[in-house]
Amino acid sequence: MTVPPGFPSGACLDRESIRGLLAAAPPLVEGYLDVDAQLQPNGFDLTLASVAVFTEAGQLGPTDADRRLAGTAELPFDADGYVMLRPGSYLFRMNETVNLPLDVMALGRPRSSLLRSGVAVHTAVWDAGYRGRSQALMVVHHPKGFRVARNARVLQLVFFRLERAVGRGYEGRYQGEGR
């Protein structure tokens, strides 16, 4: 799977380039709910599968052996498919699986409706070669909280073509996560 020929390196992929990569093998993104709603002029919206609250402290040391992820507990959705989030930090998982080729990386940004509601989303870099169903951090700053529904579009991935394909793609701990 490669970016269409002639597309400049370092450039953000546009809607039609992303659409072409959705038809590749493996697809750039799979498991999406509605391609017409999720495909944006400059990215692809990822949707909410689950939300978890943090229950235990995490740890990051000088080596991978010293790393411990924070404990979490999944929150239930109500009968209408929503979960009420009080001010605080939450870990959420997306429905979609991302399959980045070796010449594409991605950055995740919150949907503007979240920001306008006092909610921030924080992500890490999606390195070239990453494959998996990612998680991100949602922080509710609004003192009255925020309600979010299962399958809501919460994060837009913006894809960038690298100047050249990397020799070795992402090989870290989270390769293949959530599949």
Q: Flag whether pLDDT at 7 surpasses 60.
A: no
- Phi, psi dihedrals of residue 156, rounded to the nearest 5°: -110, 125
Predicted confidence (pLDDT) at residue 3 exceeds the cutoff of 60: no
CB 171 within 8 A of CB 132: no
**Residue 58's pLDDT band (boundaries 50, 70, 90)?**
very high
Region 133-160 average pLDDT: 97
Q: Specify the CATH class of 15-56+67-161 in words.
A: mainly beta
What is this structure's pTM? 0.90
Q: Would you kindly state where each structural domain of the chain is located, as residue ranges?
A: 15-56+67-161
Mean pLDDT value across residues 167-173? 87
* Angle 68-92-137 from CA coordinates, rounded to 5°: 65
- The helix (H) or strand (E) run that includes residue 15 is helix 15-22
Strand stretches in 3-134, DSSP E: 29-30, 39-40, 43-54, 72-74, 82-85, 88-94, 97-99, 104-110, 119-122, 131-132
Query: At residue 138, does pLDDT exceed 70?
Result: yes
The contacts of residue 31 (CB under 8 Å, 6+ apart) are 95, 96, 97, 133
Averaged pLDDT, 83-111: 97
Number of other CB atoms surrounding residue 30 within 10 Å: 15
So what's the pLDDT on residue 172?
83
Q: What is the pLDDT of residue 10?
A: 67
* pLDDT, average across residues 144-152: 98
- Say yes or no to pLDDT of 94 above 60: yes
Q: Give the model's confidence band at 171: pLDDT under 50 very low, under 70 low, under 90 confident, else very high.
A: confident
Using 50, 70 and 90 to split pLDDT, how confident is the model at 159?
very high
Per-residue pLDDT, 141: 98
